[in-house]
Structure 1
Amino acid sequence: MDTVTAQAHWRVAGVMGAAWGAVPDGSDTIATEHLLAGIAGTRSDAAKALSVAGATVTAQLAVLRDHHDGAAVWDSTDDTDTSVPSVELLGDDGDERRRLSGAAVRALTHAMEQARSAGSDHYTTEHLLRGLLADGTSRAARMLTLCGTDATEVLRRLDQGDFEPADDGLPPQLWPTRDTLLGRRSPTATSLWRRLLLRLAKGANLAASPVSWLGFDAVQQAGTLKQPLGTEHLLLSVLATHEVAVRYPHLAMAGAHADGDGPDVSDRFAGGAALHALGVDYLTVRRAVERDGHQLGEDDRDPDTYLEAFEGGDGTGPLTRSLLHGENRARRLLITLGFPV
């Protein structure tokens, strides 16, 4: 194989490092799904196009973890059987210890050729993204499908510079929860330990630990409404998280094995599902809380105390039952709205 002369832009060098970090233990091959996740972590138009289409770093890492852990199996080989040492293509930018799948070689070659055709000596993350999306049979293409989008949509975003999040049918009031769970924005954190936790959990799928996540989202709900934190904001968070989870199952059901083995994740959002079964939905409760005209009295316990009782739990069901049976503002609000609790 002849080494292509175009050199990597410094951002692409970062992509290669991130891609290598995403390769699971026991493998030495960088495939297209690792390159795509690496691009998503850069500060570039390519990353923006992926993010607004739904293929954020958080979403992609959730998919990668499921495939690494055996919860899912790729339906593309990415031509790993024709992998080559990265130095054969990348020269000094490569590493003898690292190989590139056949599909990754094609994507990188395509990126280099684009750069040379444009008269540039360096290929960028945008060139690499186009190279990855040119192959509809690669794992990168499958990654986009699993994240709820496709190459056509991502390329349209990139070509038009359209970096507004896609319309996914969720109301604007749920966008802060959605964008935080997808990793497009950082959650609000008021306490030191929560700020430290967020720093350590950068890129983590917060939807996989919904009880811990509710503590962040409840603060966000109260802050948006410019209200002191109460159990009614916990109630809003349970509903918001459930409704976002229904729309983004690749985040919500991360870790679930198709064959039934592995952890049971069906109870993660049981609290929101139970509330929906009673006819309770996020917008109805949100509008009532916004009006703030109800005499709801005091909470018997502060929201953090409710959360601490179920910290580390598998789902939101027990917390929700506790809210519905306590002497608190959340329960009184639902009673005032006429729901049978």
Structure 2
Amino acid sequence: MSENTEPGVDMTEEMTVGKRLTDSLHRVRGVANGPIGTALLLWSIAGDKEVAPLLDAFDISARVILAVARTPGRVSAEPETGPMWDPDAEPRRGPFDDCPKVRDTVTDQVIPLSAAAAEALRDSPDDSRVALLAALLANPVSDASAVIRDCGVAPGEIREAARTGRVPRLPDRVAPELRPARDALIGRVRYRGRGWRDRLLFSVLAREVNHADHPVMWIRLEADERARAERRETRTDDLLLALLVTHEVALAYPHLTTGTRSRFAGGDALIAQGIDHQRVRGVRLDDRPDEVPAGTVLRPGPDWPEDTGVLLDRLAAHPGNRSARILAALGHA
């Protein structure tokens, strides 16, 4: 029996739950790679119209939960669940006879669960996902509670919001000018990109991608968004500003960069020199265009960098470019 098993839980128990909670279980079966644990249940209900505002008050979304749960090397607090499904790993096929299960009364399918997930479902009345949210976080050693703590939030605060229905107003982690990039990172808004190919790509990927996994692509998206809003082509000064904006947002949400923090070297170097997004915004340039366009400095293909340090070197490499002129004005060495 798992150390997380609640006293009196029958590990071979088979139960039924209402349609909404059954649908939530089916949503995560494909990525569970074994019995469904509380972290995946939390992810499954995070987009619910009643649950989402409760989590959003704490800057937590389905995208954030999935990113934290997929952190490389992370070990679940519910060992019976195993690692999240990986297309390159051998799948776990069961039969998971020693786990509690939910039977779908419509399809007659049986869905294996961790002991903590079974306990939370049992404590969720009225087929309510809000009640399930509260139940998931009532257990301090559940993986759902661990994910919330990894996000820098006390599980009890979210549980209280779910229990009372009162959404708290909390201080924002970032300055107003950083909030659009932050909202894109945690999934409140989507980048639209430039052109139909970008729109098609983002319509498919936008719900699940963690932009902090690929910081140079995030910079490009943020720079393109700024240029699109001003109805012009993307310039190298847009890339420089986006490098710092995304970097400072990433610093405020370290749980989303756990596996990729080393890719943010460019922002680290600038911050160490006292150069932040506010100082870059404060430099006034004339209207001379880039000598080497932004699309050449950062071109899709085999030379695309994954480290923002490489991008910073490129932004400083052409003295006539707008980014290099800003860096020179700020004393970047």
Question: Which TM-score tier does this pair reach, normalised by the shorter chain?
Answer: 0.7 to 0.9
Aligned equivalent of 1:36:
42
Look up the match of 2:100.
84
Question: What is the one-letter code of the residue matched to 2:179?
Answer: W
Q: Distance in 2 between matches of 1:271 and 1:163?
A: 36
What's the offset of the Cα at 1:150? 2.5
Query: How many angstroms apart in 1 are the aligned matches of 2:258 and 2:108?
Result: 36
| Conservation of the 8 A alpha-carbon contact between 1:208 and 1:253 | no
CA distance in 1: counterparts of 2:57 and 2:167, whole angstroms: 8
Q: Distance in 2 between matches of 1:223 and 1:284?
A: 22
Name structure 1 gaps, 5 residues minimum: 116-122, 255-264
Q: Which residue of 1 aligns with 2:307?
A: 315
C-alpha contact 1:219 1:229 (8 A) present in aligned 2: yes
Change in Cα spacing, 1:15 to 1:5, as seen in structure 2 (3 Å) is closer
Q: Is 1:229 equivalent to 2:234 in the alignment?
A: yes
Shift in Å, 1:237? 0.8
- Contact kept? 1:37, 1:57, Cα under 8 Å: yes
Map residues 135-284 of structure 1 onto 2, 5 A cutoff. 135-158=139-162, 159-162=164-167, 166-201=170-205, 202-223=207-228, 228-254=233-259, 265-284=260-279
Cα distance in 2 for residues equivalent to 1:227 and 1:139? 46
- Separation in 1, partners of 2:268, 2:150: 23
Distance 1:197 1:317 in 2: 26
**Cα offset, 1:275, TM superposition:** 1.1
Alpha-carbon distance change, 233 to 157 in structure 1, aligned in 2, over 3 angstroms: farther
Match of 1:257 in 2: none
Instruction: State the Cα distance separating 1:214 from its structure 2 match.
Output: 1.6
Whole-angstrom distance in 1 between the partners of 2:119 and 2:235: 55
Q: TM-score, normalised by structure 1?
A: 0.79
**Once the two structures are aligned, what percentage of the paired residues are identical?**
29
Partner AA of 1:335 in structure 2? A
Residue 204 of structure 1: CA displacement? Answer: 1.2
Instruction: Give yes or no for contact 1:77–1:139 (8 Å, CA) kept in 2.
Output: no
CA distance in 2 between counterparts of 1:248 and 1:307 reads: 26
Residues 1:294 and 2:285 are matched in the alignment = yes
Q: Which amino acid aligns with 1:200?
A: V
Q: How many angstroms apart in 1 are the aligned matches of 2:188 and 2:59?
A: 9
Instruction: State the alpha-carbon separation in 2 of the partners of residues 283 and 224 from structure 1.
Output: 19
Instruction: Deviation per CA, 1:262-295: give whole Å up to 9, x if none.
Output: xxx453111111111221101222344xxxx531
Equivalent residues of 1:54, 1:182 under 8 A apart: yes
For residues 143 and 50 of structure 1, the distance between their equivalents in structure 2, rounded to whole angstroms, comes to 12
Q: Contact 1:58–1:205 at 8 Å: present in 2 too?
A: yes
How far apart, in 1, do the equivalents of 2:56 and 2:108 lie? Answer: 27
Q: Deviations over 1:1-43 (max 9, x none)?
A: 787776233xx3432122213303xx2x111111000011x34
> Unmatched 5+ residue regions in structure 2?
1-9, 83-95
Is contact 2:192-2:202 (8 Å) kept? Answer: no
5 Å matches for 1:129-140? 129-140=133-144
TM-score (norm 2): 0.81
SS of the residue aligned with 2:289? Answer: coil
Give the CA deviation at 1:234: 0.5
CA apart distance, 1:197: 2.0
RMSD between aligned residues: 2.7
1:250 offset after TM fit, Å?
A: 2.0
Relative distance call for 1:74 and 1:56 in structure 2 (3 A) is: same
1:330 matched residue in structure 2: 323
Contact 2:48 2:129 in 1 (8 A): no
Q: Please, which of 28, 39, 64 is the counterpart of residue 19 of structure 1? A: 28
Report SS of the residue matched to 1:53. coil
CA distance in 2, matches of 1:106, 1:145: 20
**Equivalent in the alignment of 2:3:** none
Q: Shift in Å at residue 110 of structure 1?
A: 0.6
